Amino acid sequence: MKIIVVYGGKSAEHDISILTAFSIIKEIYFDYYEVQPVYINRKGEWLKGEPLTGPVAFSEALRLEVSQEAHFATSEGEVSTGVLVTPYDLKEEECVVFPVLHGPNGEDGTIQGLFEMMDVPYVGCGVLASACGMDKITSKQLFQQAGLPQLPYVPFNKTQWKQNPESIFNKIEGTLIYPVFVKPANMGSSVGISKAENREELTTAIVEALKYDRRIVVEQGIEAREIECAVLGNDEANTSVVGEIVKTSGFYDYNEKYINNTVTLEIPAQISDEVSAKVREYSAKAFRAIDGSGLTRCDFFLTETNDIYINEVNTLPGFTQFSMYPLLWEKTGISYKDLVEELIQLALKRYKDRQNG
């Protein structure tokens, strides 16, 4: 069977996607599979690389350039190349697509819809769950319906902001207390997110967030620990041990996550069994609320008084060997290699179940 790993993409999380693809390819069971790398460059072109029968030596080898024939670099001085293709050129009888595209057009249901139209099995959440999980406003509405506790928030769009910014300020300041967090509705890895302590900072934060999406959500800021739980499964929602992001700065933004690396992951988190059980219960409930399948990471706030608030879900979480999602499962008893295999099998099962009605 061929595993088609699709990575790169046009979003701000392009480079993270390459690192994720590198980590996954390194751990695939090559005794059973051949890997077909498919790189989507920043222009949106699909490049089919040379099929792999083993891991690549370094992540930059996966950053392909256009050529008449595929070639993989064997040293960092060489350039890897790929052939321009359309998505339908990739379809084979025995294949599973493993998308590792973070952000818009990768985990928001768009490319999942393409795979549905191609009629191929693919790893991860389907169209509905991906779209709902990616959209912070829609997911909050679903969590509210599911009875999950969450912090107050104010949603609005670009048109509302341009027509009457004063009414947006009044709504935010009448509902929330500074500090607040301003987020694009559809973006991951803390891209475009800012903390605001006053109206001046709020204005700057909104302008920044609008660079990434036309819909914005402003959330209440609180003093709390950030804890996370991984979910694995299709109709059944299996939950992992709970982990914590231990920060040295007040806000865990993009730079802290991927450049400065000033955070520590504590797995399992130092919390009571009762809190852990409640977080796992809420994670399974959130997974079902969006109709999740395959994988999802659920993020929560935990206050000093042990109040738990769901923050968001990530249907395609970071998946390098140093990322929270695979580390949570490792501490639960599933190795990275076996986790990759389980996701492939879940993709096949979901596809077959749907084929059989």
Amino acid in position 196:
A
Instruction: State CA 170 to chain mean position distance.
Output: 33
220 is in an annotated binding site: yes
Q: What is the DSSP letter of 103?
A: S
Omega of the bond leading into 104 within 30 degrees of 0 (cis):
no
Q: What gap in Å lies between CA 300 and CA 313, rounded to an integer?
A: 9
8 Å CB contact between 66 and 43: no
| 189 assigned to active site | yes
267 is in an annotated binding site: no
Helix axes 336-355, 324-332, angle to 10 degrees: 100
222 is in an annotated binding site: yes
Q: What gap in Å lies between CA 20 and CA 178, rounded to an integer?
A: 36
Q: Residue 301: beta bridge partners?
A: 226, 309
Element housing 282 (H / E): helix 273-289
Neighbours of 145 (CB within 10 A): 9
Amino acid in position 26:
K
Helix (H, G, I), strand (E, B) or coil at 348: helix
133 is in an annotated binding site: no
80 is in an annotated binding site: no
DSSP notation for 208-224: HHTTT-SEEEEEE----
Out of 23, 139, 194, 323, pick the active-site residue: 323
338 is in an annotated binding site: no
311 is in an annotated binding site: yes
Out of 11, 189, 240, 293, pick the active-site residue: 189
Out of 13, 107, 228, 256, pick the active-site residue: 13
Q: Residue 312: beta bridge partners?
A: 299
Q: What gap in Å lies between CA 283 and CA 328, rounded to an integer?
A: 13
223 is in an annotated binding site: yes
Cα atoms in the 13 Å half-sphere on the side-chain side of 12? 16
183 is in an annotated binding site: yes
With left for phi above 0 and alpha for psi between -120 and 50, is residue 206 left, alpha or beta? alpha
Which residue's structure tokens are 């990739």? 90
Positive or negative: CA dihedral 213, 318, 311, 121? positive
| 13 assigned to active site | yes
Q: Which residues are annotated as a binding site?
A: 136, 181-183, 189-190, 219-226, 299, 311-312, 314
Q: Which residues are annotated as a binding site for ATP?
A: 136, 181-183, 189-190, 219-226, 311-312
Q: Which residues are annotated as a binding site for Mg(2+)?
A: 299, 312, 314
Q: List active site positions.
A: 13, 189, 323
